[in-house]
């Protein structure tokens, strides 16, 4: 549904986007992660046909954002990282205006406005001036606007920024519903734990380049060479700690009561062998597991924290 191919965007000597490529399938939520200034927003703006690439291209449902922006605009919904609104306009008028701007007429327009306002649960606030809305409600309104023409692709730039926990959870649920409806969704966020919950695939971008892309598990597997192992013993934790320090490839052993953590190769074969050796040494083991890495760990592992 979305194909970004060798995308470059330079601002003078600044390479904001430098050879970015990825794909998003129908009904897929693609998380776009990166530090500030990494090139996320520029890439999204190019996909939304607001900006043009210096070279490369991107295709939405087969249409080029460079050559066919008019066609692309009919099938994308874009939610920017800022809420752009007009004075003296209420919620219904705001959404109705964009429905008209997308060429919806008559009953189709009215039902589209009702549909999106109901979906975002704003129907009770139709007559409320936008200035009086909370941040969460404004984000919902912005999502309504982006969805008014029932686009196949949604590009959401930091939609959860500034939202309270409840509003974030509600937004996440809305996005899951949209994906279930078959829409391809590109979403950027700084709240990585949330992205991990709703994204099947992520792309990590730094200094304008994609440093890792694919399903979260696959990126973890690719980038993880050392795992943090956690074991719990029944007794004799000092003895176990000493035994571990003598083992090859074991580092940073730390004991805290009956819990011991240490670094060990992420290779599951090696972990299995270590467990076998522990059994043979008759250590009083209660549990043995590799600590689950989350998206934040992956992000920290693959990025270097450089900014341009």
Interface positions with another protein (CB under 8 A): 3, 5, 12, 23, 48-52, 55, 57, 59, 61-62, 64, 66-70, 73-74, 76, 78, 80, 82, 84-89, 93, 97-98, 100-103, 105-106, 109, 145
Q: 23: which residues sit within 8 A by CB, 6+ positions away?
A: 2, 3, 4
Q: Which two tokens stand for residue 90?
A: 């209420």
Nearest distance in Å: CB 52, another protein? 5
Which 3 state secondary structure label does DSSP give 48? Answer: coil
Of 30 and 78, CB closest to another protein: 78
Tell the smallest beta-carbon distance from residue 252 to another protein (Å): 45
In whole angstroms, the minimum distance from the beta carbon of 269 to another protein comes to: 36
Rounded Cα distance between 207 and 15, Å, is 8
In the complex with another protein, the residue whose CB is nearer, 1 or 274, is 1
Q: Which is nearer to another protein, 37 or 129 (CB)?
A: 129
Asked if residue 187 lies in contact with residue 32, where contact means CB atoms within 8 angstroms, the answer is yes
**One-character DSSP codes across 69-125:** HHHHHHHEEEE-SS----TT-BHHHHHHHHHHHTT--HHHHHHHHHHHHHHTT-GGG
Whichever of 30 and 59 has its CB closer to another protein, that residue is 59
Give me the least distance between CB of 3 and another protein, in Å please.
5
- Would you say 49 or 220 has its CB closer to another protein? 49
CB of 217 to another protein, least distance (A): 25
CA distance 123 to 71: 30
Residue count (the chain): 308
């Amino acid at each position: 549904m979305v194909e970004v191919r060798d995308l470059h965007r330079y601002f003078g000597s600044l390479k904001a986007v430098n050879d970015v490529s990825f794909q998003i399938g129908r009904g897929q939520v693609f998380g776009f992660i990166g530090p500030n200034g990494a090139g996320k927003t520029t890439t999204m703006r190019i996909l939304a046909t607001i900006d043009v690439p210096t070279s490369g291209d991107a295709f939405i449902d087969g249409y080029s954002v460079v050559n066919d922006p008019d066609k692309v605009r009919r099938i994308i919904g874009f939610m920017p990282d800022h809420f752009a609104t007009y004075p003296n306009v209420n919620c219904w008028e705001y959404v109705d205006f964009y429905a008209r701007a997308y060429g919806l007429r008559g009953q189709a327009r009215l039902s589209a406005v009702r549909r999106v306002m109901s979906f975002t649960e704003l129907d009770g606030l139709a007559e409320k001036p936008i200035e009086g809305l909370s941040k969460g409600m404004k984000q919902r309104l912005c999502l309504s606007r982006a969805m008014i023409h029932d686009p196949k692709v949604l590009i959401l730039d930091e939609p959860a920024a500034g939202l309270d926990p409840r509003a974030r959870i509600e937004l996440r649920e809305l996005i899951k519903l949209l994906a279930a409806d078959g829409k391809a969704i590109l979403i950027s966020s700084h709240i990585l734990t949330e992205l991990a919950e709703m994204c099947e695939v992520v792309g990590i971008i730094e200094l304008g380049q994609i440093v890792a892309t694919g399903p979260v598990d696959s990126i973890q597997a690719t980038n993880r060479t050392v795992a943090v192992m956690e074991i719990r013993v029944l007794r004799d934790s000092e003895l176990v700690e000493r035994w571990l320090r003598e083992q090859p490839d074991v580092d940073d052993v730390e004991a805290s009561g009956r819990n011991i953590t240490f670094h060990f190769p992420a290779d599951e074969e090696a972990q299995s062998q270590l467990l076998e050796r522990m059994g043979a040494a008759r250590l009083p083991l209660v549990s043995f597991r590799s600590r689950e890495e989350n998206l934040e760990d992956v992000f920290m592992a693959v990025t270097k924290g450089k900014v341009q």
